[in-house]
């Protein structure tokens, strides 16, 4: 089935005049990124198979509706446009209708699971969608944008007004949570998702510093002068600079003044001047600088610790930096000593887990290295749970679990489901927490049971599901292009998992 048949809201060939409507179709390029990015959708931290009601968009026979965590239809599929569910645990669904792609106009209504309309006093109600650098889309927590006449405001999920109806534009600051741009009288300001004003609407432009709102914001006034404001409303740098670069730390800022790019501190004292074309990143007193399109390291004493000779540099941890030389990656220290050889096509440091992931060439396997850069594991990573502190990795066609100390653990040590994937004689089955076989070893491939009690299993080249009792579904799918195989009853996750909907279509 082509995507054009899935409703115009999901069709890449036509767009509404706001980019949010098509954010759900952005393709995911990296498999592991997809797994980690939507793990909160597929894995729930519960003590048993979840009984809390959750809701998901569903697509069938060319129409959109809503199902719950049991796979039961809550809203009959009858809409031409994909239904937006801002929070899967909240009983609110936003339906778009009367869409005119030529004029870019449309209407919305909000309904609950009883099909009752909510917030009817507004002309338009929308979720606040955002997207990060990895093309993972999310909705701002607990807040909806509403329109009445020609002005916008914000309400919470209960309908309480948290930002008055007096703004010309309301949109998210791309890539940053809890940061909402507000526009009034052609000036920009910023509020959080509780409606608290962080920056009054008096600027021409507002930019983020990194992807964490706690880093603060760069503001540009009507005279095109740059300043810096933190999330607690404090002005760190007055708007007097020709430019401020996003590479900032708590006490080092890269500014352009009188045509010169330099590093200054909070007291506006110059630390480094005439030494770089740009700065990518700051770590303590070390700056990753760019000169003649090459990367190096300089400190606040103006000592070039690493000359600008690399195609890329990124701080990892301790005194280690991920470096790119030619087309390969390695790890160096701030003395430019080669710590990990330049033989990898990709290296990533997972800060909250404390380990390094490295890949060679087009190898699907990933090497996992500890903080001493010793190889501890190698395989296909299918999940990294930084909350429960475990890795799920496929080694030689068998899924294994390890904690962040790289000790092998049982699935039952970290998962809260009722049965656990196991392999024997080349086939997959399921055991209980005591190791007793509860589903025979008859499947050629399979996935762990999800938070809703369903597990995806493959037999004779096709996927279906089994429920918590081991009963197998009757619907079968090839799903050869799906990056993630997951079921809620007969419904399987869409081919593009970042679209966050289930379907019974091939």
| Tokens read off for 53 | 């009601």
What's the CA gap between 224 and 215, in Å, rounded?
A: 22
Count of other CB atoms within 10 angstroms of residue 462: 14
Cβ–Cβ under 8 Å, residues 23 and 29? no
CB 329 within 8 A of CB 345: yes
| pLDDT score recorded for residue 49 | 58
pLDDT at 126: 98
**Which residues are within 8 A (CB) of 405 and not within 5 positions of it... i.e. 6 or more apart?**
none
Quote the pLDDT of residue 48.
55
> What is the reported pLDDT for 50?
56
pLDDT at residue 250, as a whole number = 86
pLDDT at residue 79 in the model: 97
Q: What is the dihedral of CA 368, 369, 375, 378, to 10 degrees?
A: 0
Residues in a beta bridge with 483: none
- Residue 133: per-residue pLDDT: 82
In tens digits, the chain (506 residues) has pLDDT values of 222 233 433 343 333 333 233 333 222 223 333 333 344 444 444 445 557 899 999 999 999 999 999 999 999 999 999 999 999 999 999 999 999 999 999 999 999 999 999 999 999 999 999 998 888 889 999 999 999 999 999 999 999 999 999 999 999 999 999 999 999 999 999 999 999 999 999 999 999 998 889 899 999 999 999 999 999 999 999 999 999 999 988 899 999 999 999 999 999 999 999 999 999 999 999 999 999 999 999 999 999 999 999 999 999 999 999 999 999 999 999 999 999 999 999 999 999 999 999 999 999 999 999 999 999 999 999 999 999 999 999 999 889 999 999 999 999 999 989 999 999 999 999 999 999 999 999 999 999 999 999 999 999 999 999 999 999 999 999 999 998 999 999 999 999 877 889 999 98
- Neighbour-count burial of 214, counting CB atoms closer than 10 A to its CB (0-12 exposed, 13-18 middle, 19+ buried): exposed
Buried b (16+ CB within 10 A) or exposed e, 381-400: bbbbbeeeebbbbeeeeebb
């Amino acid at each position: 089935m082509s995507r054009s048949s899935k409703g115009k809201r999901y069709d890449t060939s036509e767009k509404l005049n706001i980019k949010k409507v098509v954010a759900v179709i952005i393709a995911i390029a990296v498999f592991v990124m997809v797994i980690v990015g939507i793990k909160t959708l597929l894995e729930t931290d519960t003590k048993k198979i979840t009984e809390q009601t959750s809701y998901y968009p569903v697509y069938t026979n060319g129409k959109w509706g809503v199902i719950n965590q049991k796979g039961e239809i809550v809203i009959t599929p009858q809409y031409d446009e994909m239904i937006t569910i801002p929070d899967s645990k909240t009983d609110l669904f936003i339906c778009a209708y009367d869409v005119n792609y030529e004029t870019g106009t449309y209407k919305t209504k909000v309904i609950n699971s009883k099909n009752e309309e909510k917030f009817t006093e507004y002309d338009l109600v929308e979720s606040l969608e955002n997207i990060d650098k990895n093309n993972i889309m999310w909705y701002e927590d607990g807040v909806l944008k509403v329109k009445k006449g020609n002005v916008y405001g914000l309400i919470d999920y209960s309908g309480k007004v948290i930002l008055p109806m007096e703004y010309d534009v309301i949109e998210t600051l791309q890539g940053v949570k809890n940061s909402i741009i507000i526009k009034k009288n052609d000036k920009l300001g910023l509020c959080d998702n509780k409606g608290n004003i962080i920056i009054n609407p008096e600027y021409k432009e507002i930019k983020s510093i990194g992807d964490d709102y706690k880093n603060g914001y760069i503001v540009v006034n009507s005279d095109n002068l740059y300043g810096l404001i933190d999330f607690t409303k404090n002005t760190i740098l007055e708007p007097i600079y020709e430019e401020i670069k996003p590479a900032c730390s708590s006490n080092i800022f890269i500014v352009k003044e009188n045509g010169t790019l330099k590093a200054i501190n909070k007291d506006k004292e110059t630390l480094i001047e005439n030494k770089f074309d740009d700065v990518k990143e700051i770590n303590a007193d070390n700056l990753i600088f760019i000169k003649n399109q090459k990367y190096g390291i300089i400190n606040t004493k103006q000592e070039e610790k690493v000359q600008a000779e690399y195609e890329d540099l990124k701080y990892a941890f301790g005194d280690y930096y991920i470096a790119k030389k030619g087309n390969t990656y390695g790890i160096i220290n701030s003395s430019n000593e080669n710590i990990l050889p330049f033989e990898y096509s990709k290296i990533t440091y997972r800060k909250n887990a404390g380990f390094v992931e490295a890949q060679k060439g087009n190898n699907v396997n990933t090497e996992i290295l500890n903080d001493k850069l010793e190889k501890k594991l190698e395989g296909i990573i299918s999940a990294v749970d930084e909350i429960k502190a475990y890795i799920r990795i496929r080694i030689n066609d068998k899924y294994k679990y390890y904690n962040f100390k790289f000790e092998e653990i049982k699935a039952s040590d970290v998962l809260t489901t009722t049965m656990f994937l196991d392999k024997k004689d080349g086939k997959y089955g399921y055991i209980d927490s005591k190791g007793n076989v509860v589903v025979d070893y008859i499947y050629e491939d399979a996935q762990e049971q999800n938070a809703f009690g369903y597990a995806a299993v493959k037999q004779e080249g096709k996927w279906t599901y089994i429920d918590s009792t081991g009963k197998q579904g009757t619907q079968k799918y090839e799903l050869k292009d799906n990056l993630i195989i997951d079921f809620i009853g007969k419904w399987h996750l869409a081919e593009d998992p970042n679209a966050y909907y289930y379907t019974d279509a091939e």
